[in-house]
Every structure is written in structure tokens, then in C-alpha cells.
Amino acid sequence: MPSFQQPESPRPLFSVRGLRRAVLACSLLAACAGALAQSFDEEFDDEEKPWQEIAVQLPPTPQEQNLAEFYLSPNATMKAYIDTNSVSVGTDKVVRYTVVTKTEGGAVNVMYEGMRCETWEKKTYAFGHPDGKWSRSRRDKWQPIRDIGVNRIDGALFKDYFCEGKIIADNENVKSIVNRLKTQTRIDPVRR
């Protein structure tokens, strides 16, 4: 009589330990893929974030030795200066500065302002007084830059010193912007 052997029981493809390792590996891969996808989404986020202005600190009173005159127009009725120590570029992409104007009659005005190249706007934060104190502007709203008239302060600063199109000049390098103000003093930008 032929003898029959009992067939061997099939071997499991995975042991319990192996199955646990496979599940753990898949879980780790899924977590890494999720983190990578989130990182990728944040890096290439096309959704516009609302712009937010930073808190503004008023600068010290401008000193005569730090004033750089800048060109307004051939028929200007005043002289305009920037306090080079007050020029800054904030993380909010606003160029902030103190501007001083002097009329032929001797009147002096001091204003601390900000300029947004991206939106072609400016804002006056405060007015300076002869005693060195500042008073906050009651009208501290962003206004369109006006580039008209013989005393075109905003237009001159925007086009010739602070902005290049819709971006801040000189890659936001304050030192380069200040150097431009100092070296182009009283030069007609058209003749450059």
C-alpha cells in the first residue's frame, strides 16, 4: 500500500513580527509623505496673505549734519532733505524716513513718513516740532503718491531714491539707498 505523506502546511508570507514591521514602515512613509506635501504646499502657497504693517517707532529728532538734500524740480520753491539716520526698511516692506523741507521764506517742516513701493502709497506718521518732540499725525492713512507740481517730494523720493518700479531700490539695502541720497544731492535726475 502506498504511503501518503501529510502535505506540509503552507508557510505564511509574513510572520506576525514581519507584518508589524511592514505596517510600521508604511506608517512612517505616510507620515513623511504628508509632512513633505505640507512643506511643499507652504513653499508654493499661491494664496495671497493680507499685508500687515509693523508697529512704528518714532526716530530721534533730525540733526543738521545728517540731512541730505534731494532734487525736486528745476522750479522748486523749497529745498527738501532726508535725515539719513532715519532711513529704514521694515519687514513689512515699507521704507521709513524723516523728510525736512525749508521754504525760501524760512519756514521749516519736519515729517516722519513711510512709503510702499509695491502700492505707490505713502503715509505720514508724525510731525516734528522745534522743541524736538513729535506729534502723531491725525491723518495716518495710506495715500496715493502724487508726482505733480514743482515741489514733488513724494514723486522724487519714489522714482529717484527709494523705489525701482514696485520694489524697494537696491535690494532693500538701506546703506545703498542712503549713499544714493548723499551722492545725488542737488543733481537733476534727468541730466544723470
* Domains: count for the chain: 2
The total of other beta-carbon atoms located within 10 Å of residue 5's CB is 5
- Are 132 and 92 in a shared domain? yes
Co-location of 108 and 24 in the same domain: no
Cβ atoms within 10 Å, residue 180: 17
Report the b/e string of 11-26 with b at 16+ CB within 10 A. Answer: eeeeeeeeeeeeeeee
Residue whose C-alpha is closest to residue 122's, from 137, 141, 109, 139: 141
User: What is the predicted pLDDT for the residue at 49?
Assistant: 81
Classify residue 53: in a domain, yes or no. no
Based on the fold, state whether residues 128 and 166 are members of the same structural domain.
Answer: yes
Residues 105 and 164 in one domain: yes
- pLDDT tens-digit map of 3-55: 555 556 555 555 666 656 665 665 656 665 665 556 555 555 567 789 999 99
Return the C-alpha cell found at 169.
531700490
What is this structure's pTM?
Answer: 0.71
Shared-domain flag, residues 85 and 177: yes
From residue 68, give the alpha-carbon distance in Å to each of 59, 86, 154: 16, 11, 15
**CB 148: neighbour CB atoms within 10 A?**
8
Whether 22 and 93 share a structural domain: no
Query: Tens digit of pLDDT for each residue in 73-112?
Result: 889 999 999 999 999 999 999 999 999 999 999 999 999 9
| Mean predicted lDDT score pLDDT of the chain | 83
Question: Given phi > 0 = left and psi -120 to 50 = alpha, else beta, which region is 34?
Answer: alpha
Using the 8-state DSSP alphabet, how is residue 132 labeled?
S
